[in-house]
Amino acid sequence: MIPLSEESIVNAVEKVSKSVVNIASVRMMQDQLFRVFPVQGVGSGIIIDNRGHILTNNHVIDGTDRLRVTLDNSKQVNAKVVGTDEETDLAVVRAKPLEIYNNDEVKFQPANLGNSEELKVGQIVMALGNPFGLTGGPTVTAGIISSLNRNVQFENGILELVQTDAAINPGNSGGPLINTKGEVVAINTAKIPYGQGIGFAVPINTVKSILTDLVENGHVSRPWLGISTVKLNARIASFYRLPIVHGALIVNVEPYSPADNAGLLRGDIIEQIDGNKIEDPSQISAYIRKKKTVNYRVTVIVNRYGRVYEVPFQMETHP
């Protein structure tokens, strides 16, 4: 008899397997002589509803001209991009619904999305993917949650990710990270090139917060402050003769941004936002991101050359 722990893993994988797909993309490229040729890429995805919407990584489908999805039973359907978000490296594509394959109607089996707020360090998780669209179901690697809320720098900002030691290769990018209940708790990303034995995944609650925007609008509307900041420490404070050694030092204010309209200046130090003490600039972006809605009013406590000001302002949609 399979021990309970192993049986839970097997059952969880079986529960999700039918929802894991292979995504093949074709991009048209030019060489030095301006000759056009196709370049194919592969990745994975997870079905999220019975209408054929599939969640994957943005870099899997970025710049693609054609998409083809291979389901767990090896049936292939065409797909189109519905929405993309570079900041979280997430995208939604839709497979052609009710497509006939050898006179059989294609049915989509959606996965069960869990709650990433319930994740614990040391918890067993499995990373699934279908990099080659082969028969026999998806590939599976197992590991544990190594860290939560890991701040990782992307091209478009800092993102809080789940860190795991479950192996995530490029072909599994866009596939699900699941718990032993068979719930999707994060979306794997292989976009981060450094680290041995380290995998990262976007928490499913982050996915849920933008999923409606991606499906209905094709993009994500986010509130915007319009400032660039660095973490203040004793060395920086001493060099510039600043009055405090903790907080987020503003190094740039975008013209006509909400911060500019509120009167924030380069050299100001943000100590608090809506009563939350700021020790690191990532706390500001994380707080704003969780608000989700634009036209939201926030109040920051600013230290300007030793004088403390309370500055209320209204956020706007990121241009």
CA 261 remoteness from chain centre: 30
Residue 117: other Cβ atoms inside 10 A: 10
Catalytic residue among 19, 25, 146, 173: 173
Q: Quick one: tokens of 213?
A: 């925007």
Eight-state DSSP code of residue 22: E
- Reported as type and span, the H/E element at residue 176 is strand 176-178
Set 17, 53, 59, 282: catalytic member: 59
Strands 276-277 and 269-273: antiparallel
Question: Cα dist. 263→4, 47, 48, 177, 213 in Å?
Answer: 60, 46, 44, 44, 31
Annotation marks residue 173 as catalytic: yes
Report the amino acid identity of residue 4.
L
Catalytic residue among 89, 257, 268, 282: 89
Largest CA distance in the chain: 76
Does residue 89 have an active-site annotation? Answer: yes
221 is catalytic: no
Annotated catalytic residues are 59, 89, 173
